[in-house]
Chain A
Amino acid sequence: MTADAETAPAHATTPLILPERLDSAAAGALKSLVEQAAATESALDASGVAYVGGLCLQILLASGRPLAAPSEKVREAFALFGVGEFLSEPSTSSSEPSA
């Protein structure tokens, strides 16, 4: 469940798997994970995410990292938050290339 548990090998080509619950409690771990993804230029695998809260949403938006294979729950949450376009056409910040 924790991000740390999922972060083991980080290759540029291997997406990092996001935890199932991205609630407020998971924000710290998520930030570390996303920073790791930025450092290794890995994508973030959101296929197993079932819940996205406001704090984790901020981290994902700030990272500009693309979300690979977002689950339906992620799509729904992003639509609820009014940031659905972030998924359909992942934006990249100027400093962070997309995967």
Chain B
Amino acid sequence: MDDILQIFFQECDEQLQELEGGLSALSDGVSEHETVNAVFRAVHSIKGGAASFGLDNLVRFAHVFENALDGLRSERFAPTHDVVKIFLKAMDVLSDLVNEARGGAAVDPARVAESHAELADIGATGSQASTAPTAAGEDAIPADFSPVPMDFEPVPFDFDFGEEEEATPVASPLVVTFRPHDALYQRGDDARNILIGLADIAHACGGEIQTLCDRTTLPPLADLGVDTSYLSWRVVLPAEVAEESAQAVFDWVSDDCDFSIAREAPQVDPSMTDPSVADPSPEPDDARARPIEAPEAVSPVPAEDEHAAEPPRTTPIPAPLDLHAGAQSTTVRKPEQASIRVDLHRIDDLMDLVGELVIAQAAIESLSRRTDPAGQQELLQSIGSMQSLTRDIQDAVMAVRAQPVRAVFQRMQRVVREACSMTGKEIALTLEGEDTEVDRTLIEKLTDPLTHMLRNAVDHGIESTKARIAAGKPAEGRIVLSAEHRSGRILITIKDDGAGINRQRVFETAVKRGIVPADAALSDDEINNLIFMPGFSTASTVSDLSGRGVGMDVVRQAIQSLGGRITISSTPGRGTTFGFSLPLTLAILDGMLIAAGGSTMVIPIASVIETMIASRGDIYALPNGRNVISIRGDCMPLIPLATALKLPGAPSHNHPAAPPRDALDASVILVVENESGARAALIVDEIRDQTQVVIKSIESNYRQIFGVSAATILGDGSVSLILDVSALVASAIGQIDGKPSNIRAELAA
């Protein structure tokens, strides 16, 4: 059951994406019929699935949402800005209710009720959303969001609805009869959910249901099978309820339930206002509405027959129905098992490759028995194709894990929406490259940094509306969030058209906070990067959104922990662009195997610019004892790797000063570069190979080590360290120019 539930939640995620996309399109003025239909279908699907699992809170809200969308679909009103705003708000609530059902944080009932009331208002009046709730709206949605009392009582405002709906002043009540099959219960559904669904649609029309339970076929307890369904129901809904709405309640159970929906024979309206109608004694004349047992033969149990045939007590059930019980149970669900949905053809591709692998393995096995030179040659060739196959399989597996960034990008619409409402700014977020695919683990970890960055862009990046108008800009700010593949990495950019970074203020603040000395000569780029320093904040007041000076630092750490880097470019008055460059996967790395100090280590290929043999003439000694090397006119620090890592076998382990230039002649040099373009030359013992390595976290298995980002296990079973080039370069630069290395390291990173 939990598995099916997880599938439902995955589908919810997809439907919510669909909903977000559709509503965004509506918000942009695209009001094609198909867009509206897609939005409607998304909510309808969530409702249907939720009903199957007894997620009452979700069903109730989705239902009223669906009703309101139906008004849009049937063109009772237009998708005006206000209407779309209400739908967007409702979508956020719906999304939170899905999360709640999943075991996440409970949604504030007041928020649900507010959105519920707005939707009911739209749905009921079928007109432009009015800010002042109607009397009917208020009555229909009680503050505690409790559903309809089941006992029928004449409610005066029934007549209000009669006036609003132009349709049928003398329409007959809708009679729904249903008998669940055993299968309905077996698949985890319940008759209760159908009744709740019917109560909801009655409620949405401002009315209530009258329910009659038919116990005719209920055997005595001793003969009763616990998994067998015996009861059936007859439910009378207000005349205002459309047959399609009632039909929709059975959309997900039609295979497991006999049911009929029909208008009651035209009886005069007093019957609707007469409490005696609530009498379970049904009208026998609506035979077409009751293909199943006639409810009037109500009770097989003699003692109950009389009670059932009696009118119900005029005293209604004392408390309103609380249908939240199902939702309460969802809060203790076990944590979600992560899973992904994959296109079948990707699995097929993988399967094909595995087939080839099996063939290649058999070939190698057979060739390995041959001892002649030709056989050996073929064996080597087979091993070569096996390597190629392994690589293809790896790519195929990565393709299986790859997901478009759309899921996380669309979530950002909400982030910006909420940030805008808190700051009172008008900002449009444009998404580009949502189909760009990236490893699933990265997608999950992108949400927090992006949220932070976008909030920051709204709070600090984009100016107030007044300031924008004064600067001759459009009143509505614009943020573009885009993703693209570039050089085997994914590049995500957040570009705003705000005021840009005020570098002077940033620098002054950094000095005030003691982050940099007042006489530090920093480039524009370095000043920009100061905003990522711990404790830095230029906000004069701490706002709800940002201003605590921890956000950007956390963002940088998060991105770095993903093997990524952040770049900033900013033009005063024109805006700021942040770029995240991330690896496509966190699992595998292309690396260069090198030896230093007797150890084999891995350097990420992406960091290596070139390799060369050092020439004595290019090496210069600095007064502080360090060396630099000039490569085609560019000077960069020369770092003996073993010394920098303080490896036991390093020649100058006890002497921090660099080795003499002569000793470095003909050394093997790797020129490496960090994210900000700073370069250093690493001296290694030898370059052994180029290979792909599987990344294993060293921090979670051991502890953080300077200069080392992770570890891996090589083909011979030995553990090898993967070098953190950024840290090494930053440290080297700090030592060379004499600035505090920690600051330079922070800046360089």
**Which residues does A use to contact B, with CB under 8 Å?**
21, 23-24, 27-28, 30-31, 34-35, 38, 50-55, 57-59, 61-64, 72-73, 75-86, 88-89, 91-94
Contact = CB atoms under 8 A, between A and B. Distances in A.
Given A34-B221, A75-B318, A84-B150, A55 B192 contact: no
Contact of A55 (B213, B227, B318, B325): B227
A55 B225 CA distance: 9
Given A72-B319, A85-B312, A58 B218 contact: yes
Given A64-B301, A91-B303, A54 B229 contact: yes
Contacts of B321: 76, 79-80
Interface string B591-635: 000000000000000000000000000000000000000000000
A94 to B, nearest CB: 7
A49 to B, nearest CB: 9
Nearest to A21: B329
B220 A80 contact: no
Contact of B180 (A54, A78, A84): A54
A83 B295 CA distance: 13
Interface stretch (B85-93, B183-191, B284-292, B440-448): B183-191
B196 interface: yes
B301 A91 contact: yes
Given A54-B180, A54-B231, A55-B185, 8 more contacts: A31-B226, A54-B185, A54-B190, A59-B224, A79-B321, A84-B151, A88-B313, A91-B304
A79 B303 contact: no
Contacts of B215: 61, 83
15 contacts: A31-B224, A51-B326, A54-B190, A54-B229, A59-B226, A62-B219, A62-B221, A73-B322, A79-B149, A79-B316, A80-B199, A80-B211, A83-B215, A84-B151, A84-B312
Nearest to B150: A79
Interface string B172-190: 0000000010000110101
Nearest to B318: A75
A89 B229 CA distance: 25
B257 to A, nearest CB: 11
Interface in B219-248: 219-222, 224, 226-227, 229-231, 233, 235
A35 to B, nearest CB: 7
B303 A64 contact: yes
A78 B308 CA distance: 13
A93 B301 contact: yes
A50 B325 contact: yes
Given A58-B224, A61-B215, A79-B149, A91 B307 contact: yes
B280 interface: yes
Contacts of B180: 54
Contacts of B190: 23-24, 53-55
Nearest to B188: A24
Contacts of A23: 54, 190
A11 B598 CA distance: 81
- Output the residue of A55, A57, A59 with the most chain B CB within 10 A: A55
Contact of B319 (A75, A83, A93): A75
A82 B280 contact: yes
Contact of B211 (A52, A82, A86): A82
Give the bracket for the number of chain B residues in contact with chain A: 35 or more
A20 B275 CA distance: 33
Contacts of A59: 221, 224, 226
Nearest to B56: A51
A47 B155 CA distance: 31
B322 A28 contact: no
A7 to B, nearest CB: 16
User: Main SS of the interface on chain A?
Assistant: helix
A18 B600 CA distance: 67
10 A-B pairs closest in CB distance: A82-B211, A54-B191, A79-B150, A79-B317, A27-B226, A82-B213, A76-B321, A51-B325, A62-B221, A91-B304
Contact of B303 (A54, A62, A94): A94
A86 B303 CA distance: 11
B695 interface: no
B323 interface: yes
Contacts of A55: 185, 190, 226-227, 229
Contacts of A61: 215, 218, 231, 304
Given A21-B329, A62-B221, A75-B317, A81 B195 contact: yes
B328 interface: yes
B335 interface: no
Nearest to B146: A76
Contacts of B188: 24
Contacts of A93: 220, 301, 303
A78 B211 CA distance: 10
Given A21-B329, A93-B303, A63 B221 contact: yes
A83 B226 contact: no
A91 to B, nearest CB: 4
B310 interface: yes
Contacts of B717: none
Given A83-B213, A91-B307, A62 B224 contact: yes
B325 A85 contact: no
B584 interface: no
Contacts of A84: 150-151, 312-313, 317
Contacts of B308: 85
Nearest to B315: A88
Interface string B143-180: 00000011100000000000000000000000000001
Contacts of B303: 64, 91-94
B124 interface: no
A4 to B, nearest CB: 14
A70 to B, nearest CB: 11
A52 B215 CA distance: 17
B684 interface: no
Contacts of B213: 81-83
Contact of A85 (B186, B227, B313, B318): B313
